Structure formats: structure tokens, C-alpha cells
Structure 1
């Protein structure tokens, strides 16, 4: 009722009725006509009666009442339906710039951003130094995990976490069951790695979260991280992956050394040599 009161007849393309109109916003009957449903049914919907509803009808009501994405999802929950995937309602260019600043501000710790298919969107300098991210590598985190020789050479716990990585990717796929983009990634990974194909056939599924990693860096030796996936409500298609040094290890000090001016000079000399 409160959302119906916010929409004026003029907003909905109806005559305003002038001073004779006493109802603030739209009448129930008007919402019903505009949404293509029966007046009695719409009244029962407002009253929370035990009636059958469909996503298509709820979307029509949401359109008439001019609900934003969050309100539309809440309407689904009130009606007892699974809410649709959230959509971004923000200035995407500004938001993406802000996410780039976020991972750059995470320095000297590695961080990267990936899309729903786990394609790499952005990464900071530490991700290049520690994880081996570089322009010529496969630009998909799943494919990189299985097919990039630089990453595999550094990942000391690769065999242990490989089943978890595959299970987490299956969980990401389950959020978009009809999206062909996931099928393309799966096909590429299976073509490049028999190990992936075997693990995928197991059908395991696991929600993304934290994942402990042990890496062996060619310059500073063993490094220990907690890799954490963070979803961005304003950009549900993006995930930020932050690598935090494990406590009671010297990983943070090694990261400081790698990203220091001295460390940069050492890299230049090693490349030149």
C-alpha cells in the first residue's frame, strides 16, 4: 500500500482526476488494470492472502509500482518465491574505478577481481609478483589454476585445494543454470586439463569463502595466505578475491620486501640478466 501511494496517476500515464481524487497515489483497481490482473486478486495480494502468484505477475506489479531491484526482490520473498538475482543500480563506471582503487589499496597484499565466469577483470601489482598474474596468462581463474605453469609451480597445496576450486566453480554455475558462458569455460578447462575433467565429473559443489593457500615464491620462498572471496552487492556480477597473510608467518614481511623499491630494482636486474 505504501508503494502504491508513491505513484501518482500521472506517473502511471492516467488522468490525475483533479481535486475530486482523494486516494493518494494509485487505486487498487488502477494497479490491477495496469498490471493485467484481476482487481480482487490484487486486493488479496496486498492483504497477504494465501494465493498463487507467479514471477511474471510479480514483475508486472513491480513495474507498475516502480519498485527498484531491492524492493522487487523483497516482494518475491513476501510472496514465498525465490528472489531473482540482484542487479546493479549504481554508476558502474564509478563503481569499477572504486573497486580498482580498493585492490590497489590492498597492496602489498595480492588482490584481484573476477566476473561471474571467473574471468580476470583486474589485479594489483602484488598479484603479479606472487600469483604470477600477467597479460599472457589465461584470463580465467579456473583455467589458470589448471593450465598455467607459473601458478602451478608456485602452488604447493595445489592437489589439496583443486577439488575445492572445482566445487566452488560448480556452485557459481548453479546460480545461473542456463548461462552458456559457464559451459564455455568448462569446455576450455576440460580440453586443457584431464585433471579438471576428472574432478568436474565428480559433481561436487561448495560455496565460495575462505581458502588457505601455500605458495613457493622463487625469490622469497614459502608464503601462506587466506584467500577470501567477497561479493559486491552493487555489482553482483563481480567478486573481489583478497589474499591475506596467515598469522604467525613471515609472509607479510616477504610481501613488503617484494614490493619495496629495492625489490623492484632486484626484479629489473634479474630480468636484464
Structure 2
């Protein structure tokens, strides 16, 4: 990923969404050649020369000061996640020579914790959104059409971002798929900032850009942000509609790994549907998995030693 090129794309996208009148600039009617703020206008508002800002947008000012970046962020009205992204693009870290990375593993204690959730769906996500483990309910909720032991095979682990854009099951599962797609791409942007040049992530983004026009459009829009907690609507193929609260827990001793847990409001129809799913799962009465579609899984995600492979 060319950070200098991405910096220009990011700044242009944020200039385009800000109208001159929003920034307190006078408008004199007539058609503007570019949407949003011009470079000269942004430079004026940020207190830098037009030439300096142009060089910054072209990636030719790697030593931009905190004051300049903060001023640009203020004018563009960037939120905290976007500010972090701006700094990551303006000051890209040198990509260290990487040895072949071992496949990500889930510690035994984390597996025990996952099993302890019982009838509550839960799973462990790797640093690049591979599913490293799930309990039977997590599997039944999100991907009952895949093999239960799929996360145990590093070469073809499910990747939630890949499934979201390439697996019809995930597209039908979310009531608001476009919103889920946007938040997943925004989360991948932050992950890319934390792991610049990571081969596994570069391969994943490249694959999705080529195979999914929707992903390519969202990636080019430079949305950035955490895939946070909240209630999401699901339309499960077996138990129907549910509204579930998703909580994410970062594992401090496992770089980039997160646990996702799904709960329903007590006494709600969603809780009844989730309990029915638990009953069917325990009794082995869900439709049998028919294997993993090659479009949605492996080979290799994250940074395994083999070829490389959002949150749910």
C-alpha cells in the first residue's frame, strides 16, 4: 500500500465532503470546478501556504509538524479515528524486513473462556479479521453453512471481511448489510495503520478490491473508524430475525486479537430466537454444513507461513 498516494486520496476525499460555507468561507455563486474545499482554501484556513499544503497532499512533506497536521485535521473536521489515520499516512513507519510469520494461535485460556459462554455466541478474531476460533453458537449464528472446525485449519480459515463481501450467506444475514460493509472497511483502514505493509493484509485488500466492486468503492472512499459495539439486526436462515448487542474485547496479551460476544435483550423475541438456536445446535438439528465456499475462505489469511488470507 503506497502511503503517500493514500494520503493524497484521503485528504482529497475529506476536502470534497466539506462545503466552503461550512468552513466559513464566502460563496459567490457559480459552478465550482471541484467539490468541497479547494487546496488554496484549506491552506488558508489551516494557516499554511498553498504550496506547502500541495506538497503535503502529494506526500512530499514527510516531516510535517504536529501543529500543521492538527490544523489540517481541525479544518477538515476529522474525528479521532480519522486524525490517527492522517498521522499514520503522513508519517508512515518504515516497513521492517519480515520473517515468515507463524499462523495465529488462540491461547488455551482463551479457548476455555470461549467455551464458558455456553449458549451465548462468541468468537475470536485475529489481527486481520480471520476467525481463529468460535464456540458452537458463534458458528451457528454466523456461518453454520461452513465446517465447525474451519478455524482450526490456518491454511483456509474463514475471514469475516472476505465472507462479508464474497459469501452470499453473510450478505443475507445482516439486515443492514451496507452499514456493516462500511464499518468493516473502516476498521480495516485502522488495522492497516497499525500493521503497515503486512503481507497478509495487503493480500486481503488486494483480493477484495479485485473481486468486489463494492469493497473497492468503499476502500477508495477512505472511511476510517473502529467497528464498535451496538445492536445489529440479523435475519438467520433457521430462526429468523434477531436484534443482538455485539461487544468486543481486546486481548492484551495477543496482539490484535479480539473476542466478539453476541447477546439479546432479556425477555425479548430475539432472546427467544437465540434460545431456539441454542436448542437446535445442542441437538444437532441445524442443517449440516456443506463445506466452505472457496470464494469466502482460504487460502491462508493473516500472515501464515503459507500464502496469506470485520468484524462480525
Bin the TM-score by the shorter chain: 0.5 to 0.7
* Per-residue deviation, residues 241-267 of structure 1 (Å, max 9, x unmatched): 111224663222222222226862543
Aligned pairs (5 A) from 1:102-141: 102-133=113-144, 134-135=146-147, 139-141=158-160
Give the deviation of 1:185 after TM superposition. 1.0
With CA pairs under 8 Å and 6+ residues apart, which has the higher RCO, 1 or 2? 2
Aligned pairs (5 A) from 1:22-171: 96-133=107-144, 134-135=146-147, 139-171=158-190
Query: In structure 1, what is the Cα distance between the partners aligned to 2:119 and 2:138?
Result: 9
- Indicate the residue corresponding to 1:256 in structure 2: 275
Query: In structure 2, what is the Cα distance between the partners aligned to 1:266 and 1:184?
Result: 37
Runs of 5+ unmatched residues, structure 1: 1-92
| Aligned-partner SS, 1:229 | strand
Preserved CA contact (<8 Å) 1:154 1:216: yes
Cα distance 1:200–1:125, how it changes in 2: closer, same or farther (>3 A)? same
Higher strand share: 1
Q: Tell me whether 1:179 sits opposite 2:198 in the alignment.
A: yes
| Aligned-partner SS, 2:120 | coil
Runs of 5+ unmatched residues, structure 2: 1-103, 151-155, 291-312
Cα distance 1:95–1:132, how it changes in 2: closer, same or farther (>3 A)? closer
Match among 224, 238, 249 for residue 257 of structure 2: 238
| Aligned-partner SS, 1:267 | coil
TM-score, normalising length from structure 1?
A: 0.58
TM-score, normalising length from structure 2?
A: 0.52
* Per-residue deviation, residues 34-69 of structure 1 (Å, max 9, x unmatched): xxxxxxxxxxxxxxxxxxxxxxxxxxxxxxxxxxxx
Give the deviation of 1:228 after TM superposition. 2.2
Give the deviation of 1:107 after TM superposition. 2.5
Aligned length: 179
Preserved CA contact (<8 Å) 1:119 1:141: yes
Cα distance 1:187–1:246, how it changes in 2: closer, same or farther (>3 A)? farther
CA-based RMSD of the aligned residues comes to 2.8
Q: 4+ runs of 1 displaced by more than 6 Å?
A: none
